[in-house]
Structures are given as structure tokens and as C-alpha cells.
Amino acid sequence: MDVHLLVYDLSRGLARQMSQGLLGFHLDAIYHTSIELNGREHVYDGGIVAIAPGSSHLGQPMERIFLGKTELPMDVIEEFLESLRPIFTVEAYDLWKHNCNNFSDSFAQFLLGKGIPEHIIKMPDAVLSSPMGRMLMPQLNQTINSSRQNGSILGIQSPPSTNGYGSAPQPTKPQPKVRVVHSSQELDGALETAKNSCAVVLFTSATCPPCRTISPVFDELSAEAAGKAAFIKVDVAQLTPLPGKSYPRATPTFITYLHGEKENEWAGADPAALRGNVQLLLQMAWPRHPHEALNLPSFSNPNTKPVLFSKVPPLSKLLGKMGSAANAPAVQGIKQFVEARDKEGAAAAILPNMGEVSALIQKSIESLPVETMFTIVDLFRCGLVDARLSGFFAEEPGHKTVLAILNFVNSHSECPYALRLVTLQMACNFFSTPLFPEEILRNEALRAPIIQLISSSFLDDSHSNVRVSASSLMFNLALFSNKARRERSGDVLPEGDAVELAASVLEAIGQEESSPEALQGMLLALGNLVYCAPTDSEVSDLLRAMDAEDAILAKKKQFPNEKMIAEALYDIRRPRPPRFVMWASQRHRYRAIIDEIKLTLRESSLDHRLLPTVVSEMPSLYSSASTPSLRSHDGPVKVDGGGNVRVVVRVRAFLPREIERGAECLVEMDPITQQTTLRVPNDNDPANAKAKARKIVEEKTFTFDNSFWSHDINDKYYAHQEEVYNSLGEEFLDHNFEGYHTCIFAYGQTGSGKSYTMMGTPDQPGLIPRTCEDLFERIEAAQNETPNISYNVRVSYFEVYNEHVRDLLVPVVPHQPPYYLKIRESPTEGPYVKDLTEVPVRNLNEILRYMTMGDRSRTVASTRMNDTSSRSHAVFTIMLKQIHHDMETDETTERSSRIRLVDLAGSERAKATEATGQRLREGSNINKSLTTLGRVIGALADAKPGSRKRNKDVVPYRDSILTWLLKDSLGGNSKTAMIACIAPSDYEETLSTLRYADQAKRIRTRAIVNQDQISSAERDAQIAAMAEEIRALQLSVSESRRREKDTKEQEEKLEEYQNHVATMQRMMEERSLVAEGKIRSLQTENEALRLHLKLALESLKNPIPAVTIKPPQPEEAEDDTQKDRSAESGDKEKADDGESLYDDSDDTAYDSDVMEDNANDMQEYMRNLLSDLGMFRRKIGDDKERWVVERATLATSLGV
């Protein structure tokens, strides 16, 4: 659309005549400007209004300047104008600082990235700076104030009859209108756009009076539905039905559609019936979410505003840290804009040059040090608070400015704290305009780095401010997604991104321990992410898998005052459906459940003995050769009589290294007989000289199903990629549609062209991409011809690397060891990879996307023989299901087939490849698996002609992961083809490959059509059985949970009892030790008393005999007399001593008996105490043993 600037002269020529004398300088006009766009003139005059160009009382403009072209859609432009209304109000109008020219400049900046001419913007300042302008300023301001009371300054208002913008806010989104169609194609297109919701079709006629009566009611209901339903009018007189379709001819007739299916039909011009049916349809299409019945004000408030960081730092200090970059005009322009907005309001702030700002930021990323970059981002953050500036960068082509900042921060694993913080706050300020959230939700390239920034910032456990800002950014994103989801308009956050954000914030909630602000922000973000989300979404499954409820509830102990915990808990709990469900809605849900159970029934791998073995004949649905029907044209489905593995051989062109050494082509192919001949190499070829010297070399000839000559592109028999597919892939895809499993694998030495044959290049796609393309072309053609057949396609992609299986559709986590899958074997399905990712695909682009993703994850490396050598065996599997429901017999027929496309790694010799280390180990495992494959081929091959017996050796499938997984394809239920890729100049390796291929063509497989037929009675019985099984499982799960809860409670009681018993044991042991010490002390004292008593009794029984004394001599008489006296006194003392001794003995004997009795009593008491203690210990042991037995029994019953 063209953008013009309309310039008016409010002085009507007087400024040009008198300005020089009055103002002291020449002035062409007193400029009044507006923007002309899409046939409307947008002007600011007491509000933003839109009028017909030149229709105001100002007349025609003085000048009409072409500013440029804009590619922005009108709804985006209208939304931007709506965001400017709070800035450009009648109260904010200022003749000198905030006028129509400022509006025109802001609008032009948004539309084109450049403003209006500078002399127009600076005109008020020039006038104001003159003496005359300062003198006239009070009178002009008084005039403007008086005009402001009338709602405008110059009297420009939107005419009532137009839909332009008035001074009052108007809805920015167009009201839904009734769509009028005139053909069957238009009607089908209109219904296709409403297949995710509902539609109401009115078949009317211009000559029908009742139609004219009911038509206004129909239009009114369309406006009330607000886009929740498509309202379509069809004039039956102009409608030409397509062949096979019929439409009502009576008018008025109404038909309603729900999710693409016809719901109801009625005739007549009854407004009450129309309103009732439309309301019922809307309730079925848009049922009320269970969350809306809960009291969750933090998540249900439609007026919740996003978090913005509007604080302005000291700009002089901020610019001082920039260095020389602070002098750039763009920096000064942003600085002046931010200062004016901060001090005088948005009305006084003039936008800087947006182009210069964008160039400054991108240049700073390249030139400024990472430690200084935060200054530019912070200044930019301050400007983004204004909706005019953020609106421009929201619609910037490619979002190159903001993406440059986001990618720069995300690319630094050790990003400085200040830079990460201001980048998060800058991203929060994106939401100052409604244009940015819509772009983020719509544009994956913009959304992905924002989500990466949030997830990585949650991991910063050192800075709570970073986590607070990250939670604020996630809250803003979830808030706008929540609003779009509840209003059922616009884009919402994709489920994959919502899962990633939910996982990140749940992990952050679990680790948050210090910041209540961060926790509150995380809970608000998670709550808005989950609020009113589908109950069966992946986010809900993730919350249950990660025990989100327990993780949030655990925060109650650390943050007891956080009120958001309770509200978030109610929000994330699985909501219960409303008690009352309308019968029509319940019927549609029942249909969906039945379809899901039927699909589950098909995938449950039931024993074939439980299913019918004979399928009755059903008329052919269509006769296309490329898409066969689900019924055999020859009657009942039969088992394939068996067939050999189809073997083709393909020789590649010379490689540069072969051309350099002058290699000779040793392979010849006959396009008529399909013979392949390997000639004897000449003596001059050093690569084959050792082979000739080591063994007898002779010419060999082999015959295969096809021989593809891809050596010389100039040869008329050269086989291109397309020819290989037409000869092999197309036929095998036919088998898949017939219901057979198929397998195609490429075999050969390294560098022989296997990956090129299977995968190809973007210019020359190989067998796998061509098969995928042909598959969906056939499905599309079949659905157009027979819509009662549904097709379901799923794919998986894995590699066998070093005898381990790795899922190629699971992204590789950097610096983490790869996760390898396990192999299991089913009695009905054969070997399979457990937990392998199987993704549903709906078109070619999706399947190619998954294929490309897997190719990036595949292990490749460079060797001497091959620059891009595959170091693993890759298996790409396509699962195709065809389900046909016969409306006449109410029978369902399903065919399931599998397309397995295998790109084997090439056999190699260490000397030839010069591999060492990891490459050598890889080559060893590759050769091991290929050797096992050769042994399996040899064991499966039929005996040669003339041989008396068939090889009855055990087939060594399990000797290699590769052969185990290909067991069913090599010798079981599959039609298999082998592409032997050979090099043109390597005699030994080529001969080895051709011999393997020659053996493989003698392998016989026995493929069967994988088809099931279920009648309505059988289907109902199986559905009832499965429903009963589901109920039984639910009861079992409920009972298990109850038992688990009881077990947990019993374990807690047992643990408490055991702790109590242990405490008592310790106390008893302590008391026992004290008692034993007392006993030992008493025993020692008793023994001492016994010894004392014994000595005393012995002294009484055996007294000491008296001593005879001779008479004394005379001369000694005196002395003797003295001695006698002494003796008498001594005898008396002796007698006293003897009496004393006796008495003491008696006393001692009495005391000993008492102590002995006391000791005996004490011993008896301690003996009884010890006996009681022993009995108590035995009781504790018995109780413990009984608890252990009960616990083990309970665990066994729960299957733990």
C-alpha cells in the first residue's frame, strides 16, 4: 500500500507573506500533517481519527508527498493505532510539543522505518524560539484549551456514517461477517476452514419471503458468535452441485456442522429454533473449560497486564560506560527520547530514527566487548517501554534487530550477569505493544531464542534477579497465550514449546530456595501456561509425570507466606469435567472414544487365533493400480505363496581418487539378460595387484533380477535414481498398499554408493525420499476417490552403532553420553526396539523433516576410502495403516504394513581405510554385523541344484543386533529386496559383494497380508471387553494406590515403633550394666565378709595355748615383783583383749549373716530382673520379625 503525507497550511498563505517580518526568518507554512493510507486520512486532532482524504474543513492539502510503500496488513496497522490512543489524546495535545506532526512522524516510522521531513517537525520549535512566538504562546494555549473542551482542536472528527476511528477507542479486529457462497467449491472451502470448530449454513433464495424474515436474525447470531462459528449463506438458485452431492432445495433450510461432520438439519423461519440450535452448536464446539468453574483470580482476570521494566537508570553514567559509542546519533536520539518520556510523558517524546537505532545495535554486537554490550541493550530496553518504538520493531522485517541481541546472548554460555539481566528485561518490554506477542506466538524463529533465554536463565542459581526477570518474561508469554486460548482467537503457544517451558519452570520451582519474588513469578507463569489448556495435552501429562503438585506443595515449608502456592495447586491439578454434559456433545465424544479404542485394538497385537481367519468378499473400492483397495480382486485374502528375495546390483561411477590412479572398470552389465560380469584386473592396477598375487583370479558372471549401470552418465543405459525407484521402489510400495510388509536394504563395501542409492542428494533424491513422496501422492489420490478409507502413517528412524541401538529422532544432548535402546522380541511381531520413537506424519514435508533430523544425528566420519563414511546401520521404517468402514455391513477392515528401508554401513579393511582408534573399533563392529548377515544369508539360502539336503543349521540371528532386528525381513513375514552396491575397480570387495548377493537371491520368504476384519457385533464385544478391562485396571490402580498409601503409613508406624523399641533397648541395656556393676560390688563385699567370718571362727575353735613361766631369782625379786605387777596388769589386759575378741567375733558373725541374706536377696532380684529383660528382648525380636514378614507380603501383593 502507498503511504502519502498530506500537508496543510493553517495560516492559508499568511506565513509565507509575513513570517520574515514577524519571526525574523522565512516560513513556508504553519504545517498541519496527516497520513493517507488505504483510502483513508489518519490525523491527530484531539484523538486519532480517520476520514476521507481532504474531506475536513481544511479543504485540500497544500502538498501530497509520497513516503513509500508498506506491506503490513491492515489489522496490524489498526492494532498499532489502537496502542497509540493512550498517547495521542485530546488532553495531551500540545501545539508546540505534541501535535499532528508528531503523530504523522510516529505513524510513518512504524509503516516505513523513516519519519516525515525534518523541517516540518522542527517548525513549532522555530516559531517558539522567536520573540513573536513567545509573545503569542499564552493566547494560543488559551485558544487550544477552550477548543479541547469540545473534544477536538481543529474540529476534525470522523463522520458518523463511516467506520473510521473516532476519539473513543474502537475494536481493532473486524467483526465476523456472514460468508456468501455461490458454488459447491466455495461451500466446501468455507466448511474446510471451519472443520476445527463449527459452521451454520443457510440455504436461502432471493424470492423467498421467509428467508428475508430470518436473514437478519442469522446476521445477528453471526455477530454474537464472535468468530466461534462460521455462518454461511448459499443461494440455491445459483448453486450448482458437484456430481455425487445434493443440497436442499427448500428454503430456508439450515444445516449445522461440528468439527467437519454434519450435525443437524431443519427447515423453516423460526427464530427461536435457530437461536436454540446455534447456541447448542456453540456449546458443543466450545465447551466450558473446568478451570473456569474454579476461583482462580490470578489466572482468570482478563485485565491482567504484562510485566514491564520501565525504570530509567542514570543515563549519563550509562553512556559513560559505552565509551566512544555514546556519541553516535542513534544513541543520542534514544537518550533524548527516553529522557523526554520519563520527565514530560510519552506525549512530549519524539521518536528517534528507527533505521539508525537498528544499525547501531547490530554494529555494537560486532564491535563492542561483551562486558560493555549491556549498556546498549539497557538503553534499548528503556525505549521499548513506548508502544510506538516496540511496535516498529515488532513488525521489522525478519526481526533482525531483536534477534541479533537474543542470539548474541544465547550464544554465550558464560554470559555476563548484567547483559543477561537487561536482555530479559528488554524482552519483557516487547509486550508493551500487542503486536509483539502476536509475532512471538506466530513466528518460531522469534519464539525459539526467547524460550532458550528463559530456560537457560532459570539455571542461574547465583542471581535471584535473573530468575525473577526470567519468570516475568515467561509470565508475559504465557499470559498472552492464555488470553488467545480463552478468546479462541489468534495463535497460541505450540504444545512443544509449552512442554519445554513447563519442564524448565517446574525444575526451577523445585530448586528455588531463596527468592519469594522468583517463586511467585514462576508460579504465575506456570499457572497461566496451564490455565484453560486442553485436559489431554502433553503439558498435563508432563505435570503428572514430574509430580508438579508435590513439587509445588513442598515449597509451602520454605515459603509459608506465599499465597500463590494454593492457587497454583488448584490450577495444575487435573480438572474434573462438568457433571452435566449435553447429549449431543456426549455423543460426539463417545464417537471419538470408540475410534480411539478401535485404533488401540488394532495396535494391541492380538493373537491371530482370536481374530477371524477368513474375510468375506467386499466390492472393490477403486481399481487404481497404484492404490489397491482393501479387498483382493480375486476374492478372500490369501497367504502369499512365498517368493525369493529380490536382488539387484548397481555399480557406481569412478571416484576422484580412482581417476587419479588410473583405475580400470572391471564390471560389465548386460541390460537385456541382467547379467553382471566381473573381469580380471590388469597387472598395472596397484589396488588389485596383491589380490592377483594371493589367489587365482578369474572372470565371474552373475545373474540378478536387475543390473543397474550407473558408471558412465553418457551411456544410453545409464540408470538414474528415478529408474532405480521405478524398477524396485514402486513395486514394493504396491505390496505395502496390498498389506504386505516390505524391506529394502543396501549392501556393499564402504564408498560403494549405498547411502546415495537409499538417501540420495537434494538434486537427486534416493529410494527413501521417493518412496515417501509416492506414498503421500497415492494417499491423497485415494482419499479423493474413496473418502471412506482413512490412512494413518507413522515413522521411526534408528541406527545400529557399535552393536547398540540409538533413536535418531531423539535430539542428542551435548556433553552427555548417548542413550541406547533395548531390543525385545514379541511372539506375534518379532524383534522390536523398546521405547523407540514413532511419530505420526500427515504429509511429505513432515516425513522429510523427521528424516532430515535423523540424518543430522546419524554417525558419520571421514576415512581414506570415503569422506562421508556411514559408521552405523540406519533403519528408516514407515508404518502404514488403511482402515475401511463399510456403512452397509457395519464392518471394519484394516490393513497394516511396514516399509523398512535399511542403509547398511559398508564393509571395510583397516589397511585400506587407514582407520585407527575409534574408527577402527567402529569398522570392527561393522564387519562383525555384516559377517553375521552373510552367515544368516548363507543359512537361509536354498541348497544349490544337485545338493541332497537343505542346510538345516540354526540361523544365527542373535549373533548381531542388525540381523536380530532384520529377522522378520530376512526370513519371515516380509517381501524383501537387496540392493548390492559395488565399486567398479575393486576386484576382491566387488566379488565378495556379488557372492553374498548371489546367495541372497536364493532366500525364500513367506509374506502374508496383514489384514483384520471385525463385524459390528465383534467390535462392540471387544469394546465392551476393553471397557471392562479398563475399569478393572482403574480399580486395580486405585487399590494399588490405596495399598501403597497404607503400606507407607504402616512403614512409618513400624519405623516409629522400631525407634521406640531401640530407645527402650538402650535404656534397658544401660540399666542392666548398672545393675550388673552393683551385683559385682555386692558379690565382692560378700566374699570379703565370708573370709573375715571364717578367720574369726577359726580363732575361737583353736585358741592359743598358755605359756609356763619360771619363778624369779632373789636378786631379781624386786624386779620380778615389778614384773609380776606388770604381768598381772598385762594378764588383765589379755583377758580384756580375749573378751573383746570374743565379743567382736560374736558381733561379726551376726553382721555377716544379715549381709549374706541381703546379698542372696539382691542376687535373686537381679536374677529375676535379668530374666525379665531376656523375655522383653525376645518379645521385641518376635515383633520385629512379624513386621518384616508382613511388609514383605504387602510388597509382593503390590508387585514391587
Q: Does residue 453 surpass a pLDDT of 90?
A: yes
CA distance 379 to 338: 8
pLDDT given for residue 686 in this prediction: 63
Confidence band (pLDDT; 50, 70, 90) for 577? very low
> What is the SS3 assignment for 980?
strand
Average pLDDT, integer, range 587-605: 49
pLDDT given for residue 530 in this prediction: 81
986 with 657: CB under 8 angstroms? no
- H or E element: which one contains 311? none
Q: Does residue 1036 surpass a pLDDT of 90?
A: no
pLDDT given for residue 929 in this prediction: 77
pLDDT given for residue 491 in this prediction: 58
Q: Does residue 603 surpass a pLDDT of 60?
A: no
CA distance 84 to 736: 60
For residue 1044 the three cell numbers come to: 501403597
Task: Show binding-site residues.
Answer: 748-755
Task: Give CA separation, 312 vs 325, 326, 336, 378, in Å.
Answer: 19, 17, 12, 9
Q: Which residues does 825 contact at the CB level (< 8 Å), separation at least 6?
A: 831, 832, 964
Tally of helices (H runs) and strands (E runs) in the chain: 41, 30
Among 110-114, 386-390, 977-981, the range scoring the smallest mean pLDDT is 110-114
Mean pLDDT of the chain: 76
Among 106-120, 957-971, 1165-1179, the range scoring the smallest mean pLDDT is 1165-1179
> What is the SS3 assignment for 1022?
helix
Q: pLDDT of 634-661, one tens digit each?
A: 333 444 545 788 999 999 998 888 888 8
- H or E element: which one contains 260? none
CA distance 279 to 282: 5
Instruction: Please state the length of the chain.
Output: 1200
Percent of the chain with pLDDT over 90: 13
Q: Which residues does 1200 contact at the CB level (< 8 Å), separation at least 6?
A: none
3-state SS of 837-882?
CCEEECCHHHHHHHHHHHHHHCCEECCCCCCCEECCEEEEEEEEEE
Q: Give me the DSSP letters along 20-37.
A: HHHHSS--S--EEEEEEE
DSSP state of 667: E
Rg (CA), the chain: 48
CA distance 913 to 915: 5
Q: Does residue 964 surpass a pLDDT of 90?
A: no
- H or E element: which one contains 736? helix 730-738
CA distance 108 to 981: 64
For residue 323 the three cell numbers come to: 565509551
CA distance 12 to 31: 10
pLDDT given for residue 658 in this prediction: 84
Regarding beta strands 2-9 and 63-69, do their DSSP bridges make them parallel or antiparallel, or are they unpaired? antiparallel
For residue 1030 the three cell numbers come to: 479398563
Confidence band (pLDDT; 50, 70, 90) for 628? very low
Q: pLDDT of 175-229, one tens digit each?
A: 457 888 888 888 888 898 888 889 999 999 888 888 988 999 999 998 888 778 8
Regarding beta strands 646-651 and 706-709, do their DSSP bridges make them parallel or antiparallel, or are they unpaired? parallel
Residue closest to 1068 by CA, chosen among 1162, 1137, 1158, 1170: 1170
Q: pLDDT of 819-851, one tens digit each?
A: 888 888 887 778 888 889 899 998 888 898 888
For residue 134 the three cell numbers come to: 513567545
Q: ∠ at Cα 645 (640, 646), nearest 5°?
A: 110
Amino acid identity at 1065: Q
Task: Show binding-site residues for ATP.
Answer: 748-755
Beta bridge partners of 64: 6
CA distance 685 to 692: 10
967 with 830: CB under 8 angstroms? yes
pLDDT given for residue 634 in this prediction: 38
Give Cα 313 distance to the centre of its chain.
38
Confidence band (pLDDT; 50, 70, 90) for 474? very high
For residue 92 the three cell numbers come to: 495531551
The residue among 586 and 494 whose pLDDT is bigger is 494
Confidence band (pLDDT; 50, 70, 90) for 945? very low
Q: Does residue 1033 surpass a pLDDT of 50?
A: yes
Q: pLDDT of 122-151, one tens digit each?
A: 777 777 667 766 666 666 666 666 665 565
130 with 24: CB under 8 angstroms? yes
Average pLDDT, integer, range 963-979: 85
Q: Does residue 2 surpass a pLDDT of 70?
A: yes
832 with 825: CB under 8 angstroms? yes
Residue 1054: CB atoms within 10 A of its CB come to 16
CA distance 681 to 679: 6
Residue 313 burial (10 A CB sphere; 0-12, 13-18, 19+):
middle
Residue 1163 burial (10 A CB sphere; 0-12, 13-18, 19+):
middle
Give Cα 1194 distance to the centre of its chain.
38
CA distance 395 to 391: 7
For residue 683 the three cell numbers come to: 597387472
Cα distance from N-terminal residue to C-terminal residue, the chain: 70
Q: Which residues does 383 contact at the CB level (< 8 Å), separation at least 6?
A: 334, 337, 338, 352, 357, 389
378 with 321: CB under 8 angstroms? no
Regarding beta strands 1011-1014 and 700-703, do their DSSP bridges make them parallel or antiparallel, or are they unpaired? unpaired
Q: Does residue 171 surpass a pLDDT of 60?
A: no
Residue 134: CB atoms within 10 A of its CB come to 11
pLDDT given for residue 75 in this prediction: 76
For residue 588 the three cell numbers come to: 460426539
CA distance 568 to 555: 12
Average pLDDT, integer, range 335-352: 83
Maximum CA extent, the chain: 188
For residue 784 the three cell numbers come to: 479423493
Q: pLDDT of 54-102, one tens digit each?
A: 877 778 888 888 988 888 888 778 878 887 878 787 777 776 667 788 8
CA distance 380 to 362: 12
Q: pLDDT of 479-524, one tens digit each?
A: 888 888 776 555 578 888 888 888 888 888 888 888 888 888 888 8
CA distance 150 to 90: 10
- H or E element: which one contains 468? helix 464-487
